[in-house]
């Protein structure tokens, strides 16, 4: 893609720079706020090189690009100087203000998603350490191993601090005070300690480390109190009163009420994950087949907090393994289109997006090939469902989070042996092959 040329063409095809009032992007999509979306030429946009699809959602005109969306966005920004440049979107779940339920989901997802790069880095470090210990026989008692192991564990130990910070930023309250309170709760003097009292009142024993639900409950209450502090405090001393009152009020309130409630909710969610996957192969057949559809509508991020909570509670996640089946079945279906297609544009799109799905993200393949040609999507669902059966029967678990691909297979290293990792490699191959074969057999009509 010629980013500069494509950016200019996009501006023209959405009605010109006068029709663009705001712009931003997420991991794979260029997001535009248009004054009049009827002026956009959707069919012409889809024909531009590198454009995988167009979606109108959450009041935004979203153009699916893929991993190189940021380069394109950087070329587009100077072309629309009078439009508002909004902050980069950290998640694919769009907030719909008219729905309280969607606002809650958006808050949870938006609070957890910014911490995912840390969790991915932690997971990959843990996987490398497991690889070194199991295959290279590195001394696990050595200082170097222990230091890196401490680094990896810190991501989950202090995850509530990161979540509190992101949640406070999202709700426009002081993120540093929120992180400060959660840091205190995660210390060894409080987290998991029994028989504590405050103001003479007994405190329920709560393990705050790796427990994100208390943080998610604390910040909205803190934001509510913060608004009244700012409104009624004298301006000359508000900078002193504000952090003091927030800390003194929220610390005991969380210890006495929000922490215990959060622990109960977190345990219930973790048990729900266990229950929903307790039917073995049947559960994973359904969940794996649903994964591409959830990605298609941007709802896969809603499940991310459940997965993170499951990992922090039990140390691994079977629920997350559905993404391994779904993502690589999408890759296989796209590659089948690339090999079988007669039209050059379909062959190129299938091969390029298929390789991208194998190694990083699936949205280009999903929007640019599978949904557009329809039948390959069915092939991907079939491949994902059958692979899900394999994952459920052999209990293939993820020990960290990352976008499931062949490059991130080390996140399945864990437990007492390498068996789970080898099964995950087998599942990845099965999903890719079945997605390819199912699509090849079902076929597709290039003229539709």
Encode 93-117: b = buried (16+ Cβ within 10 Å), e = exposed.
Answer: bbbeeeeeebeebbbbbbbbbbbbe
Residue at 307 is within a domain? yes
Which tens digits make up the pLDDT trace of 253-290?
999 999 999 889 888 888 887 788 888 788 899 999 99
Residue at 76 is within a domain? yes
Encoded tokens for 59? 């009041």
The domain boundary, picked from 73, 89, 105, lies at: 89
For residues 228 and 363, membership in a common domain is answered with no
Residue at 417 is within a domain? yes
For residues 321 and 295, membership in a common domain is answered with yes
CATH code where residue 61 lies: 3.30.1360.60
Residue 91 above 70 pLDDT? no
For residues 305 and 270, membership in a common domain is answered with no
The domain boundary, picked from 50, 74, 89, lies at: 89
Rounded percentage of the chain residues whose pLDDT exceeds 90: 42
Q: What is the pLDDT of residue 299?
A: 65
Residue 165 above 90 pLDDT? yes
For residues 34 and 175, membership in a common domain is answered with no
Total number of residues shown for the chain: 448
> 42-46, 223-227, 291-295, 312-316 — which one is most confidently predicted on average?
223-227
For residues 290 and 243, membership in a common domain is answered with no
Task: Report which of 373, 420, 415, 378 is spatially closest to residue 396, judged by C-alpha positions.
Answer: 420
Residue at 357 is within a domain? yes
For residues 19 and 49, membership in a common domain is answered with yes
Residue at 140 is within a domain? no
Q: What is the pLDDT of residue 53?
A: 81
For residues 294 and 257, membership in a common domain is answered with no
Q: What is the pLDDT of residue 433?
A: 97
Encoded tokens for 168? 């406070």
- Of 103-117, 158-172, 217-231, 326-340, minimum mean pLDDT range: 103-117
Q: Read off φ and ψ for residue 335, nearest 5 degrees.
A: -65, -35
Q: Read off φ and ψ for residue 57, nearest 5 degrees.
A: -155, 140
Residue at 380 is within a domain? yes
Q: Domain range for residue 184?
A: 158-274
For residues 281 and 413, membership in a common domain is answered with yes
The domain boundary, picked from 69, 89, 109, lies at: 89
Domain count, the chain: 3
Which residue shows structure tokens 């087998």?
426
Residue at 56 is within a domain? yes
DSSP secondary structure code for residue 400 in this structure: S
Question: Please, which pLDDT band fits residue 301 given cuts at 50, 70 and 90?
Answer: low
Which helix H or strand E contains 72, and what residues bound it?
Answer: helix 69-76
Residue 93 above 50 pLDDT? no
Calculate mean pLDDT across residues 338-347: 88
Task: State the chain's mean pLDDT as an integer.
Answer: 87
Calculate mean pLDDT across residues 18-26: 88
For residues 267 and 287, membership in a common domain is answered with no
Q: Decide the pairing of beta strands 197-198 and 60-64.
A: unpaired
Residue 1 above 80 pLDDT? no
Separation in Å, CA 150 to CA 131, 147, 188, 321, 428? 16, 5, 16, 26, 30
For residues 202 and 298, membership in a common domain is answered with no
For residues 303 and 270, membership in a common domain is answered with no
For residues 210 and 353, membership in a common domain is answered with no
Residue 20 above 50 pLDDT? yes
Residue at 251 is within a domain? yes
Calculate mean pLDDT across residues 51-78: 84
Q: What is the pLDDT of residue 98?
A: 47
Other C-beta atoms closer than 10 Å to the C-beta of 161 total: 23
Task: Report which of 295, 278, 372 is spatially closest to residue 329, judged by C-alpha positions.
Answer: 295
Instruction: Please tell me the chain's helix, strand, coil percentages from 3-state DSSP, rounded to the nearest 5.
Output: 65, 5, 30
């Amino acid at each position: 893609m010629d980013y500069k040329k494509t950016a200019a063409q996009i501006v023209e095809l959405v009605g010109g720079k006068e029709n663009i009032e705001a712009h931003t992007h997420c991991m794979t999509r260029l997001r535009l706020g248009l004054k009049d979306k009827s002026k956009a030429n959707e069919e012409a946009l889809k024909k531009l090189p590198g454009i995988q699809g167009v979606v109108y959602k959450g009041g935004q005109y979203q153009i699916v690009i893929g991993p190189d969306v940021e380069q394109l966005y950087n070329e587009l920004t100077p072309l629309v100087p009078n439009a508002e440049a909004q902050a980069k979107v950290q998640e694919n779940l769009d907030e719909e203000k008219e729905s309280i339920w969607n606002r809650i989901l958006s808050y949870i997802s938006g609070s957890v998603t910014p911490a995912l790069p840390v969790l991915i880095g932690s997971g990959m470090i843990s996987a490398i350490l497991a690889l070194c210990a199991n295959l290279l026989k590195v001394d696990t008692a050595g200082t170097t191993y222990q230091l890196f192991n401490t680094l990896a564990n810190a991501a989950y130990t202090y995850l509530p601090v990161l979540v509190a910070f992101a949640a406070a930023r999202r709700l426009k309250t002081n993120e540093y005070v929120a992180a400060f309170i959660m840091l205190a709760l995660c210390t060894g003097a409080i987290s998991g300690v029994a028989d504590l009292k405050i103001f003479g009142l007994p405190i329920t024993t709560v393990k705050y480390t790796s427990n994100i639900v208390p943080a998610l409950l604390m910040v909205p209450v803190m934001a509510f109190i913060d608004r009244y502090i700012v409104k009624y405090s004298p301006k000359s001393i508000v900078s002193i009163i504000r952090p003091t009152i927030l800390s003194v009020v929220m610390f005991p309130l969380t210890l006495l009420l929000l922490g215990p409630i959060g622990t109960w909710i977190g345990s219930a969610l973790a048990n729900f994950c266990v229950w929903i996957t307790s039917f073995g192969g049947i559960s994973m057949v359904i969940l794996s087949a649903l994964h591409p559809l959830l990605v298609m509508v941007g709802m896969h991020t809603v499940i991310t907090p459940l997965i993170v909570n499951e990992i922090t509670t039990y140390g691994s996640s079977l629920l997350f393994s559905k993404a391994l089946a779904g993502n690589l079945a999408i890759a296989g279906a796209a590659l089948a289109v690339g090999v079988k297609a007669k039209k050059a544009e379909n062959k190129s799109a299938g091969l390029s997006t298929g390789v991208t799905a194998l190694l990083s993200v699936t949205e280009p393949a999903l929007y640019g090939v599978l949904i557009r040609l329809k039948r390959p999507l069915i092939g991907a669902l079939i491949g994902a469902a059958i692979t899900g059966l394999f994952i459920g029967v052999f209990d293939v678990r993820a020990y960290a989070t990352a976008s499931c691909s062949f490059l991130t297979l080390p996140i399945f290293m864990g437990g007492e042996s390498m068996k789970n990792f080898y099964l995950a490699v087998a599942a990845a191959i099965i999903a890719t092959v079945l997605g390819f074969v199912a699509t090849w057999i079902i076929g597709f009509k290039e003229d539709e």
